[in-house]
Structure 1
Amino acid sequence: MADIHIQRDHTLGLAQARKVAFKWAEQAEEKFDMECTYEEGKTEDLVSFTRSGVNGTLTVTKDSFELQAKLGFLLGAFKDKIETEIVKNLDALIAKTPGNAKPAAKTAPAKKKSA
């Protein structure tokens, strides 16, 4: 069995992170024929997903997403491709969500010209 572990930090807060997780679960069901269950908690939520050859969880907190999955023998051969697709989808959902602004890059102060 091959294991996938993905950790993503964010600044969304739990309410917005839930929206991202719901959307991720919907996409997993539609695109990959996954069966997803969503358990809402007080400080974290858990999305469990499964299909033939794959099972795992997506843990959602106010400041992170943590995905853990186990791939069966046949899908294990495609681990890198599957992991790349999951990362791409999750990162795209996080980036599209309002409120996840990244800190602005700091710029150096302008140099004063000598007269």
Structure 2
Amino acid sequence: MSTIDIRHAHTLPAENARKAIEEVAAKLSERFGLQSNWVGDVLNFNGSGVDGAIALQPGQVQVTAKLGFLLSAMKGMVESEIQRVLKEKLG
């Protein structure tokens, strides 16, 4: 099982960052079929072969995920897609 740990800086107010994270989750849902829900300032997500969270912190977000066997083989592609969407939505 592979893990992903990405930190991405942002300068958005908390409310705008939360909306941006929801847009990130929507993109990831389209791409990987994930379901998500907020618990405080953490957006938990899961789907076939992936379990993780996006934590909203002052000045940064942290994406952590555990990839199942099939997605582990595509870890680089998954990380690149997450980073691309974070950059697009959070700057």
The structure with the larger Rg is 1
| In the alignment, structure 1 residue 4 sits paired with structure 2 residue 16 | no
Which residue of the other structure, out of 75, 82, 87, is the alignment partner of 2:83?
87
Match of 1:73 in 2: 69
Identity score, percent: 35
The 1:13–1:62 alpha-carbon spacing in structure 2 relative to 1, beyond 3 Å, is farther
TM-score, normalised by the number of residues in structure 2: 0.92
The structure whose RCO (Cα within 8 Å, separation 6+) is larger is: 2
Q: What is the CA–CA distance in structure 2 between the aligned matches of 1:14 and 1:62, rounded to whole Å?
A: 7
Contact 1:5 1:67 in 2 (8 A): yes
TM-score by length of 1: 0.74
* Cα pair 2:33 2:48 within 8 Å, conserved: no
Which structure's residues are more often helix, by fraction?
Answer: 2
- Alpha-carbon RMSD: 1.1
Q: 2:58 maps to what in 1? A: 62
Structure 1 unaligned regions, length at least 5: 96-115
Letter in 2 for 1:79: K
The letter for the 1-side match of 2:52 is G
Runs of 4 or more consecutive aligned structure 1 residues displaced over 6 Å after TM superposition = none
Matched, 1:21 2:21: yes
Deviations 1:47-106 (A, max 9, x none): 1110111000000123110000000111101101110111011111112xxxxxxxxxxx
Number of residues of Structure 1 aligned to a counterpart in Structure 2: 91
